[in-house]
Structure 1
Amino acid sequence: MEELLLKKLNGELLSTDEIIKLDAWIENDQKNRELFDQISLIWKYDQDKFDNARNEVWQRLQHNIGKSEHIIEDYAKENTGHKSRYFLSLSRIAAVFLLATTLALTLYIFSKNSVLSEEVVLIQKESLSGQKLTVILPDSTIVKLNANSKIIAPKEFSDDTREVTLIGEAFFDVKKNPIKPFVIHTENLDVEVLGTSFNVNSYPENQVFSVAVATGRVAVSNKGQSLKSELTPGEKITFQANSNKFSVAELDWDREFGWKDNKLVFKRENLNEILTRLARWYGFEIQSSIDIDKEKLFSGSYENPTIQAVLEGLSFVYQFEYEINKNKILIK
């Protein structure tokens, strides 16, 4: 697992099997997810700061972990300060110390980094399945989280940049500041703007990630910085994780932005894709006992619909019956 984490953090291309294995590990335990999020946040800072802080970091960790001190000592002997090896060992230690150790390390490195203030406080806002959430960031940027999404940001931005981490989907209306770029880090993409509005779709379980621009200009790059593109209003960029490719096209406004106004829009989507979105949108667990025709595509638009209204239309098109029992739906 350490090797997969390292490849992911370095922006290297993962195979389909590796993606499935890593996603399973992240989703298996909330502590795994929190650990991965925290490591991702500090991964972008330069190597020199890690080298300079390494010895004091490990002294502090030794003091905190007590009985497991010998693990850290073995680690210190084996490592030379390289950031990649640092986190490989951190992930091993995290099996014992998990989030507490990682958070302590994160805050320490942040406090030594001139990008952030000495009193570092991270805020984390999360929307549950079936829930949408509006968040106002310290610079007055407005973020609307779609269901099952999370944003992590410092309580106060630094003097020269505004950086946040997104998991899931969100619409950003960024407060304009020509001298302080706004950067969004996702699992596969980095998005940089000065002041604009746009949508980012980056659910970890997906293999396709996208950025759609409503106003202003947006710069998008993959984690390895091998792909870069600048978008203008009305454009959408799609990133295929398994092929590491960008594609840019004209966006469908209702499909990309409708969700924030409770408009549920499907455009040539198969039933698997639709059921995944419905489970997230309404907070239901959906199970299917039928063979799903992946080639049969559906388009439709609903304004603030009930789950029953959507299922009625789908059941007619795909010829199935459904049963709702509390928060579970069975397609049969």
Structure 2
Amino acid sequence: MKNADKLPSEIINLANKLVNGTINTEEKEQLEAWYLNNATEIPVWELKNENKVQLRERLYQSISSKIEFVPSSRSKSLISFFAVAASIVIACGIGILLWLQTAQHDPIAKNITIVSNGLITKIHLPDHSIVWLKGNSKLEYPNKFSDSTRNVTLYGEALFEVAKDKTHPFVIKTGNYLARVLGTSFNIKESLETNSFKLTVLTGRVAIVSTNNQNNESAQPIIIAHGTEFEITGAKNKPRLMPAPIDEKVMILNGTEYDMNFENVAFSDVKNRVEKKFNVKINTGKTNYSNCFLSADVTDQSLENTLKVISAVVNSQYTINKNQIELIGGGCY
């Protein structure tokens, strides 16, 4: 839109607040006073292949629905100004034309609920994280994560292998706690009925905070390092932080494909375990890998990192096409 730079940034911010419904009485009076002393042009739209009348009408309706009724002598002029100011905000922050063109092709994220019903159920999340849901548990997550965080809700027990992403924290709401990670693996077991909570960290670190204290600015999160277990049993007992017992780790991993530590394992077995964990199919063509044996630990590694290690061992190349993997060349003779 033309003449966007003629509006002070403070006025644009106030107009943005008006549109979002967050403006207070004093700010609204300030905005109205500025407008009464400053003439404003009707917006000029610089659009291509778009119906300008429909676009302008949509914006006017959006603005007018968000402001209180004022005397008719000011209503038209105020709406004209707010249309100008709001269009600047929208054009700068979102891109109104792009939004109009893509909104129908970008559906709102929908929540998905998975229930394990007594069986270990593996779930591949939209960010390629893997969750093994255990016992009679439930996991809720969106079919696509937001631009800022990756939020899920757990009821019961699950083993998480979170895809590494430093710019998008992974947050689990579970029982009376919030757990926050960037990319690590851990097991959570909670029960609101018994007021019990146990978090066992396998790799990396996990920060947790009680939801009862999340509105207290002085409350500090508890950082739990790998190989450590955080447990609380009963509402009156204090939490315990201690090294995770070996037998506890064995029980946590039982029935999952999390452990990918190979010690002189035949290629065919490695291939089967990778396919099962990541829900992929590895095609080797006519290349001979039957004499290959692998010794490598790719636990808590992504599919691509796992393939890099395998390819290095058997001297091959790989390609990924959705859930189809092609290994080319190399081999063991």
Structure 2-normalised TM-score? 0.42
Whichever structure has more helix as a proportion of its residues is 1
Larger Rg computed on CA atoms: 2
Which structure would you say has the larger RCO, counting Cα contacts within 8 Å and 6 or more residues apart?
1
